[in-house]
Amino acid sequence: MTKKRSRYRGGLVAFVGAIVLVGLAGRAVVAQSTADRAIWHSDVVFMYDNPDRYAEYGCTVLGWAGRADAEHIRRAHEAGVRLFTTSVGFLTEFRRVIDFTPDFMDAACRNFAGEPFIVPWLWDHKYKGQPAWWWCTNSPVYRRYLYSRLDDVAASGADGLHIDDYAGTSAAVTWRSACFCRYCMAGFRKYLKENASQEKLKSLGIDDLDSFDYRQFLIDRGVTPDDYRRKRGSLPLADEFLDFQVKANVAFVAAYHREACRRAGRKLTLSVNSGLGAPMRLAVAPYLSYFCCEIPHNAADLSFPRHPIYIYKLADALGKPVAATASGQDWALINAENRTALVRSWTALSYAMGHNFMAPQRQWCYTPEKGTHWYDGPTDEYAYVYRFVREHATLLDGYEAAASVAVVYGSEANRKGKGRIEPICIELAQRNVPFDVVIAGDDWLPDQRLSREIVARYEAVIVPDGLVLDSAQQAVLDALGEKVVSWSDRDRLFTQLSSPIQIVG
């Protein structure tokens, strides 16, 4: 008993300390009603359902894979679960797809070689002699299956829809040399007709879009599958093809959510598993209620995580809460080495920064050697931290970030591999400098634009090296004069700003 009490007190000291030290990046000003948020700062989110542990952790949100059963969800509500979300997996439901139609291979993605391929992290899964094929979200065959799943969502009485692997086909462009199925080729033809200039097409020798096939176009130029894998980004129309796939994916996710709400006869929250780190993973943000996602925590370093600091601040800039978990590789290490204290640091960081780290009561693990396996965290190592959150909700709810410094994230620049701000965010946090991220959007984030009103409230606006802006947003920064600080000149910033917290003695 004495040992447990000591761990309890020590855990809470660490948790409150994180709120003070990390949370100064901003937990100071009441700026938003809790009722305006799909996920409250004090919510306790379960990734997978487990009614036996609702009370132990104080579960208020089921974020990922809930049972599509109306009676079960009713009982969950009675037990204190405010938001019960049910999940549809765009890549993981290969068994259901195989049972849904004998034409399931017409729903499979095709790489540049014209071959179907599997979901890499499901290499150890088989069903009826078939592997876990990567399905194409542009295929009408696959979309019929996905829309059929919404009947389950509607009947369940769920409060929200979660989409796992929501990026679907678009995620395969930069990673799996895809997708070149006939539906993607038809969609890309339509995209080029609507977006490509005649001058651009003529310069590439494209005279007839009606019969244009992008894969054949590249093959005719001598591009091999290995060439495509190595040089994709420099090939003709590579930017346009990625843009087509990203926008097609975002449009489908938005339409899918609208149809879910229509069939349910009620408004449903929408969340997706997006790690937010890449520009293409932000494009869906305008349609989301919150992110419910895997964020790499670099568990192998056995140190306080830094990457999530950047992700949480980026989410704040988008105005979206994050219900976070770690990666499958992270959880595999925790499972193998029993690093419970490390997980508590992840939890403390997330809540301190105004977001929610999912309770580690059941988490997906993955290694190339073992494939899929699971971590069921010991309740006595974790539950008290989450109960503390629920019992002291007033320390968290209703508070939003207050900062005098902004860091500019440029969507266009990041699409080109420039203007990276993650190192900036991490150094500012380490120096205890409260900061916000502000987004300079483009056609992937059209509702995120720098304006005089946004930047006027900051004493300093940091711009990263390589930032690329359109003329209108550049003019907003130019008008700030000396308030704009280049990160390469950050010594000037640190001499001007004083830390809001100083440790003496």
According to DSSP, residue 359 is labeled: B
Q: Where residue 249 falls among pLDDT bands split at 50, 70, 90?
A: very high
Percent of the chain with pLDDT strictly greater than 90: 88
Q: 336 pairs with which residues across the strands?
A: none
Percent of the chain with pLDDT strictly greater than 70: 91
Cα separation, 284 vs 438, whole angstroms: 17
Segment 408-430, tens digit of pLDDT: 999 999 999 999 999 999 999 99
Of 18-27, 144-153, 437-446, where does mean pLDDT reach its minimum? Answer: 18-27
* Average pLDDT across the chain, whole number: 93
Residue pair 345/21 in contact by the 8 Å Cβ criterion: no
Cα separation, 81 vs 486, whole angstroms: 46
CB neighbours (10 Å) of residue 195? 12
Cα separation, 424 vs 431, whole angstroms: 11
* 3-state class (DSSP) for residue 104: helix
Tokens 């609507």 belong to residue: 194
pLDDT score, position 6: 32
DSSP annotation string for 374-423: EE---HHHHHHHHHHHHHTGGGTTTEE---SEEEEEEHHHHHTT----HH
* 3-state class (DSSP) for residue 156: helix
Q: What one-letter code names the amino acid at 438?
A: V
Q: CA 337, 342, 344: angle at the middle one, nearest 5?
A: 125
Pairing between strand 160-164 and 460-463? unpaired
Cα–Cα nearest to 464, from 500, 411, 396, 393: 411
Cα–Cα nearest to 180, from 204, 211, 154, 215: 215
* 3-state class (DSSP) for residue 451: coil
CB burial class (10 A; 0-12, 13-18, 19+) of residue 278? middle
Segment 250-299, tens digit of pLDDT: 999 999 999 999 999 999 999 999 999 999 999 999 999 999 999 999 99
Segment 106-117, tens digit of pLDDT: 999 999 999 999
User: Which helix or strand (DSSP H or E) is residue 30 part of?
Assistant: strand 29-30
**At 423, phi and psi to the nearest 5?**
-60, -35
Tokens 């952790």 belong to residue: 57
State the pTM of this model.
Answer: 0.92
